[in-house]
Amino acid sequence: MHILEQKIRNARAEGRMALVPFIPAGFPSPGRFRAAVEDLDAHGADIIEIGIPFSDPVADGPAAEEACRRALASGVTPRGILKELRARAEKLQAGLALRGYMNSILQYGPENFAKDAADAGVTGCVIPDVPLEESGELRGTLGAWGIALLASYMRNKAEGESLSQYLEEKVFSGQKGTTIQPDAKDVEGFDAFIKRYSAGLPIERAAVDFLK
């Protein structure tokens, strides 16, 4: 069983939701980021999701976008993030997942990224601009190093439609960073997504099972 799945199922066995906080790498400063990761771990985070700053975070809201801008301005890089995590990998009890965009991985080199991430104790990646249907190659590259790819799904994405158009018009509808009631069409699409995940993606399935 993958470590991230185990973390989620352990929380479920304790009768609670898994605690999965998100923190942008290098924000609000590199020093405070390091302290925040250690504090989250010490206070019971099951999985810590760490954002890789990117100049065009199209799937994130204004708060995360501003955090990315500040982190990039302070010189935060993917290599620097993994170096920081590698120095603390043996001290952390929480599972580590990175959230970022495919461009950062391509610039790094997928094989090198997977190896360095694994050395840093990373066991999962959330890449919102890689749809489930197109994730096979990256899933294999990461999986060879024990890293699970938690992919996105793109329901009704039209041929030729840009990712930013799809996200703005069909997923977020201008409501990024807010809490809204789900659209009935979104619920229908999510149900189909759940069925696909239930067919054989254990980490996502473990999370979904808890919600049933």
- By annotation, the residues acting in catalysis are 49, 60
Relative to beta strand 22-24, strand 47-51 is parallel
Ordered alpha helix ranges (H), the chain: 3-13, 30-42, 62-73, 78-88, 102-108, 110-119, 136-143, 163-166, 184-198, 202-211
Element (H, E) at 126: strand 122-131
Distance between CA atoms of 101 and 31, rounded to whole angstroms? 24
